[in-house]
Amino acid sequence: MPRTFLVLTATAAVGLLSITAHAQQALPTIGGTASGADSTAARERAASSAIEQQVEYRTSLQRDLAAREQMLRTSEKDLEARKLRLRNTHQELLATAQKVQEQAAKLKAAESAAAAPASDATDAQATEGAAPAEQAPADAVDPSAVKRLSKDLEVQSYEIQVASAQIKRLQQDVDYLRGVIAQMSGARR
């Protein structure tokens, strides 16, 4: 909607200026014959007015173009910052995934290590009476830590998806602004 509105407004402004300039030039002849001096003075005023309007219009176009170029530069900087944040989040995600895999491997190893001595301890207790059960290894993994790391991984994956969508929208805005600036630069010539 705003893009179409901008194009229609610019087209209407150019058309209105053109019609106004032609009408002002034609006014002295519409009323009939005027004296030569009045006719010449009226044409000069009309031409002067048309030139002033063109200058004002071009000045406003240049201001608008400068504002859009500034907005484009700001958007490009924002886009680069978001891309950097996305890369950092991606690196964090990879690190978290690696931690989860390491914790899961430790948990699996601890479970298999605990299962083997437990069966041996049960056999030993049955034969020897009341032998003490083996304790869990010191580097045993806490299953809640694995769950927490998995949850962190999910959250970071979601953040990457959101950031990617924002970057895509921002890139579209930057491309649109570049197109508008190119059109305005072409109209300025």
Stated pTM of the model: 0.45
Residue 87 has a pLDDT of 84
Residue 174 has a pLDDT of 83
CB 36 within 8 A of CB 72: no
Number of domains in the chain: 1
Q: How many CB atoms lie within 10 A of CB 171?
A: 15
What's the rounded mean pLDDT across residues 173-178? 84
| Percent of the chain whose predicted confidence (pLDDT) is above 90 | 8
Task: Write the pLDDT tens digit of every residue in 27-78.
Answer: 555 555 545 667 888 899 999 999 999 999 989 988 988 888 898 888 888 8
Does residue 127 register a pLDDT over 90?
A: no
Does residue 189 register a pLDDT over 50?
A: yes
Question: Which residue range is the domain that position 122 belongs to?
Answer: 2-188
Q: Mean pLDDT score of the chain, rounded to an integer?
A: 76
Max Cα–Cα distance, the chain, nearest Å: 135
Tokens of 174: 């930057």
Tokens of 128: 């020897």
Q: Using 50, 70 and 90 to split pLDDT, how confident is the model at 141?
A: low
Ranges of beta strands (E only) in 10-111 are none
Tokens of 51: 């030139």
CB 174 within 8 A of CB 141: no
**What's 31's DSSP letter?**
T
